[in-house]
Amino acid sequence: MNLFFLAWRNIRYYQQVSLAISMGVTIAIALLFLGLMVSWGVERGLETYRARLGADLLVAPREVKGNMESIFLLGKSEKQYFNGKIVDELRSLKGIKRISPQVFLESVAASCCSAGYVFIIGYDPKTDFTLLPWISLRERGKIGKDDAVVGANIIQPVGFFLRFYGHRFKIVAQLDRTGVGFYDNAVYLPIETVYKMAQESKVKPEIYDLNLKRGWISTAFIELEKGVNAQEIEGKIKRRYPNLETVKAIGLVKKVKEELPRLQRYFFIFISFVSVALFFLITIVFYLFNQMRRREHGLLRALGGRKMDLLTLVLLEGSLLILFGSFAGIILALTIKHLFYRWVIFTLKMPLLYPSLSLQLLGMMISTTLILVIGLVGAFYPAYLIANEEPYESIRFSG
Amino acid sequence: MKVSDSAAKTLVWAENLSKVYETPFGKIEAVKKVNLEVKKGEFVSIIGPTGSGKTTLLNLIGGLTVPTEGLIFIDGCYLGGLGDEEISRFRGEKIGFIFQFASLIPSLTVLENVCLPSFLLRKRSKEAILTRAKMLIERVGLSGNEASLPFCLSGGEQRLAAIARSLINQPELILADEPTGDLDEETEVKVIDLLHQLNYEEKITFILVTHNLKLAARGNHLFEMREGKLTERDKGNL
């Protein structure tokens, strides 16, 4: 028998108090860990999104001005199109290295293949430079007119089939997660197939009219030559095509980047509040818990226990409860993180890609250490008080 | 600090011992200039009404509280000169306590409770502690209850377990504070018989605080505590 054994037995004996303390810790650590994951996840999401976008400029109809973030970050469909011939004209513009059109169809709720809605995008396999580079050569080589490349949120795996607007598509590749709805909820189909579907929707009564003319597009992704000033090109495009809106790829993430410190500041304030609340909770609960067990502690001293033994015992009990609470808190946070991933993205309106496993482990360690320190500091004062009380006082005046 | 050789047979020596408590309602002088000498192997009883200072005196002797004034020597050792580490060790080695209430640690089994003072002392091996604890449990008549938690035992059984616990470190002095206070008459006699048996067979010195004059009279010396003052009573007058 040692103090660890005694601490463990006490925790088991005083189950209700132990449970109450552990639950407080569970909630605090879950909030802290989730906060860290979201904060780091947005940073990672932004980096991944910037890398994934591949383009320097995006062109869209003027009508979608102001909705660019919701389209290109969240993947919210806008049924505004412009004539795709402009793409060929722009291709000849000096300073533009590559340009590729994409057409967005209406988002469809598809419980068959996704946890939420699916964003159908038509891409041009001949000119595309934003999607195909992320697919392995082997997969690229076998993409046909009825093949689909899907985002990470699409549940069906490669080799399975999806059905949209009366057409059946085979999934030939799945993209890695980006934390951005525009990519993760997307189903990429060859642009010609999309036009065919749109044509058929006009004649097939069972299909909802897609209202898309052949050759019309939603956006064009532009890659500039090295050293070319994006603003200059934007100006040229806007002057030549006043009905078009341009946005710099960096501009899409700029707003989120500006928002991020604010989010992190709120998170810091929130965590500070939770930490202070936890500190007081643990101090008060431990104080009351020790008062309740004052006689027991006095007895331990009477039976030969030193002040240090008592202090160690109370802090050991606290540490064990915090560690149990931490473990439960991490499990809770991981569950919430998994279950509410898409809800968090839509609420924050920011790209969110949870950090790598090693960073998540670091987050667990930081959260647990912080809560352990707060908990032990909170438990120390009540433990110090009880350890320094005369054994006779503890025994005689026990509550 | 050691007392002179002439006092070598003296186990407890208290001189001008006083204890004053500060309360919100003023000072309470619980023990007033008490002098007491208890020799090794004696069985001393202290009687007195509630609030007369008996328990405070016992706790002063046991080093559980510090006197406001006066000196206490146990087996020649001046308690006032010991630090926390030393006095805790001293209590563990030399003194056994039997309290007036259910004093077992509720989360530990009977066996673990009996072992506890030895584990806190960190002097003997686990096997030696367990062997002695089992022997003591058998001696107080609690065999078969080793794995029971205190709440499963009756008041009398809990008191017997506390007696076994007080003996685990083979103390020279046992301070028993109304150990039969809430027990029925039969159990009360059984407990006091056991204490006297231990005193006789193992030469353990006892200081017993009790309300029961009949039981108190069985000791070598009888003291009475009134309003903090201690006086020796003649057993013949009882």
Res A41: pLDDT: 83
- Other CB atoms within 10 A of residue A283 CB: 18
Contact yes or no for A1 and B65 at CB 8 A: no
Residues in chain A whose beta carbon is closer than 8 A to a beta carbon of chain B? 1-2, 6, 9-10, 12-14, 295-296, 298-309, 390-393, 395-396
Per-residue pLDDT band for A77 (boundaries 50, 70, 90) equals low
Minimum-distance CB partner of B85 among A306, A390, A396: A306
pLDDT at B6: 46
State phi, psi for B183 to the nearest 5 degrees.
Answer: -105, 155
- Test A299 with B91 for CB contact under 8 angstroms: no
- Closest chain B residue by Cα to residue A394: B64
Give yes or no for residue A114 having a pLDDT over 60: no
For the ranges A61-70, A281-290, A295-304, the lowest mean pLDDT is seen at A61-70
- Written as six digits, the tokens of A286 are 């431990």
Touching A: B residues 23-52, CB under 8 Å: none
Whether residue A6 and residue B107 make contact (CB cut-off 8 A), yes or no, is: yes
* Distance (Å) from the alpha carbon of A255 to chain B's nearest alpha carbon: 58
B67 has a chain A CB within 8 A of its CB: no
Mean pLDDT calculated for residue range B117-134: 87
Q: Which residue has the higher pLDDT, B58 or A200?
A: B58
Looking at beta carbons, which residues of chain B come within 8 Å of A386? Answer: none
**pTM to 2 decimals?**
0.72
Reported confidence tier of residue B2, pLDDT bands at 50, 70, 90: very low
Name the minimum distance, in Å, from the CA of A391 to any CA of chain B: 5
Return the residue of B nearest to A390 by Cα: B65
Q: Which of B84, B93, B165 faces A306 most closely, judged by CB atoms?
A: B84
Q: Chain A: residue nearest B115 by CA?
A: A1
Interchain proximity B65–A306, CB inside 8 Å: no
| Residue-wise pLDDT tens digits, B163-180 | 889 888 888 899 988 887
Mean pLDDT of B112-127: 88
Domains of chain B, each with CATH number or no CATH: 41-57+84-237 (3.40.50.300)
Residue B109, pLDDT score: 93
B82–chain A nearest CA distance, Å: 13
Work out the pLDDT band at B5, boundaries 50, 70, 90. Answer: very low
CA-CA distance, A317 to A301, in Å (whole number)? 17
Mean pLDDT over residues A330-355, rounded? 80
Rounded CA-CA distance B38/B9 in Å is: 9
Question: Which of A169-173, A264-268, B29-33, B73-77 is predicted with the least confidence, judged by mean pLDDT?
Answer: A264-268
Contacts of B66 in chain A (CB under 8 A): 390
Residue whose C-alpha is closest to residue A304's, from A391, A388, A396: A391
pLDDT of A170 strictly over 70: yes
Domain chopping of chain A, boundaries:
3-47+256-396, 52-251
A387: nearest CA partner in chain B: B84
Per the CB < 8 Å rule, is A304 touching B108? no
Partner-chain residue, chosen from A9, A304, A390, that has the shortest CB–CB distance to B91:
A304
pLDDT at A60 (0 to 100): 86
Q: Which residues of B touch A304 (CB under 8 A)?
A: 88-89, 91-93, 117, 120-121, 169
Q: Which pLDDT band holds residue A331 (cuts at 50, 70, 90)?
A: very high
> How does DSSP classify residue A352?
-
From A283's Cα to the closest Cα of chain B, the distance in A is 23
The Cα of B237 is separated from the nearest Cα of chain A by a number of Å equal to 33
The rounded Cα A233 to chain-centroid distance in angstroms is 34
A303 and B116 within 8 Å at the Cβ level: the answer is yes
CA nearest A304 in B: which residue?
B92
| C-alpha distance from B123 to closest chain A C-alpha (Å) | 12
pLDDT at A219 > cutoff 90: no
d(Cα A2, Cα A312) in Å, to the nearest integer?
11
What is the distance between the alpha carbons of residues B160 and A209, in angstroms, rounded to a whole number? 90
Phi, psi of B194 (to 5 degrees): -65, -40
Question: In this model, does residue A399 exceed pLDDT 70?
Answer: no
- A361-392 tens-digit pLDDT: 998 999 889 888 888 888 888 888 888 888 88
Percent of chain B having pLDDT more than 70?
95
Contact across the interface for A304 and B89, Cβ inside 8 Å: yes
What pLDDT is recorded for position A80? 81
pLDDT at position B1: 41
User: For A222-248, what is each residue's pLDDT tens digit?
Assistant: 988 888 888 888 888 888 888 888 888
Partner residue facing A306 (CB), from B59, B88, B119: B88
Over residues A262-272, mean pLDDT = 83
How does DSSP classify residue B235? Answer: G
CA distances from A36 to A177, A179, A283, A285, B165 (A): 19, 16, 25, 27, 51
d(CA B121, nearest CA chain A) in Å: 6
Buried b (16+ CB within 10 A) or exposed e, A17-30: bbeebbebbbbbbb
Q: Residue A190: is its pLDDT beyond 80?
A: yes
Question: Where are the strands (E) in chain B, listed by range?
Answer: 10-23, 26-39, 43-47, 69-74, 77-78, 95-98, 173-177, 205-209, 221-226, 229-233
Chain B residues in contact with A308 by the CB 8 A cut-off are 84-85
Instruction: Mention every residue, 6+ apart, whose C-beta is less than 8 A from residue A317.
Output: A7, A10, A11, A379
Using 50, 70 and 90 to split pLDDT, how confident is the model at B57? Answer: very high
Inform me whether the C-beta atom of residue B205 falls under 8 Å from chain A C-beta atoms: no
B97 in reach of chain A (CB within 8 A): yes
CA B219/CA B182 separation, integer angstroms:
21
End-to-end CA distance of chain B: 39
Interface size A-B, in CB pairs within 8 Å, comes to 78
How far apart are the C-alpha atoms of A376 and A380, rounded to whole Å?
A: 6
Q: What is the pLDDT of residue A278?
A: 82
Least confident among A106-110, A313-317, B194-198, B218-222: A106-110
The answer to whether the CB of A151 falls within 8 A of the CB of A174 is: yes
Calpha distance A234→A211 (Å, rounded): 29
Interval B96-106: pLDDT, tens: 888 877 788 88
pLDDT confidence band for A113 (50 / 70 / 90): low
Query: Which range, A210-219, A263-272, A325-334, has the best average confidence (pLDDT)?
Result: A325-334
Mean pLDDT of A39-46: 82
| Cβ contact A12–B105 (<8 Å) | no
Per-residue pLDDT band for B115 (boundaries 50, 70, 90) equals: very high
How far apart (Å, rounded) are the C-alpha atoms in residues A17 and A272?
25
| C-alpha–C-alpha distance, residues A76 and A78, integer Å | 7
Indicate the average pLDDT of chain A. 82
**Residues of chain B contacting residue A295, judged by C-beta atoms under 8 Å apart:** 101, 103
Local structure of B144: helix, strand or coil? coil
CB B35 within 8 A of CB B8: no
User: What percentage of chain B's residues is helix, strand, coil (to nearest 5)?
Assistant: 40, 30, 35
Q: Among A67-71, A99-103, A300-304, B135-139, which is the least confidently predicted range?
A: A67-71
Can you tell me whether residue B225 is helix, strand or coil?
strand
Strand blocks (E) in A73-218: 82-83, 96-104, 108-109, 117-123, 147-150, 161-164, 167-174, 186-190, 216-217
Task: Give the residue ranges of DSSP H helices in chain A.
Answer: 3-13, 15-53, 68-72, 85-91, 137-141, 181-184, 191-203, 230-240, 249-292, 294-302, 307-339, 341-348, 357-387, 391-396
Picking from A103, A121, A98, A179, the residue whose alpha carbon sits closest to that of residue A356 is: A179
Query: What residue of B is the nearest CA neighbor of A297?
Result: B105
Which of A5, A303, A393 is best to mutate for the B interface (most B CBs within 10 A)?
A: A303
Query: For chain A, first and last CA: distance in Å?
Result: 27
pLDDT of A143 over the 60 cut: yes
To the nearest whole angstrom, how far is the Cα of B190 from the nearest Cα of chain A? 24
| d(C-alpha A245, C-alpha A150), whole Å | 27
As given in the structure block, the two tokens for residue B1 are 């600090």
Residues with Cβ within 8 Å of B53's Cβ and at least 6 positions away in sequence, in order, are: B19, B30, B31, B32, B225, B227, B228
Whether A303 sits inside 8 A of B91 (CB atoms) is: yes
Residue in A1, A305, A396 closest to B115 by CB: A1
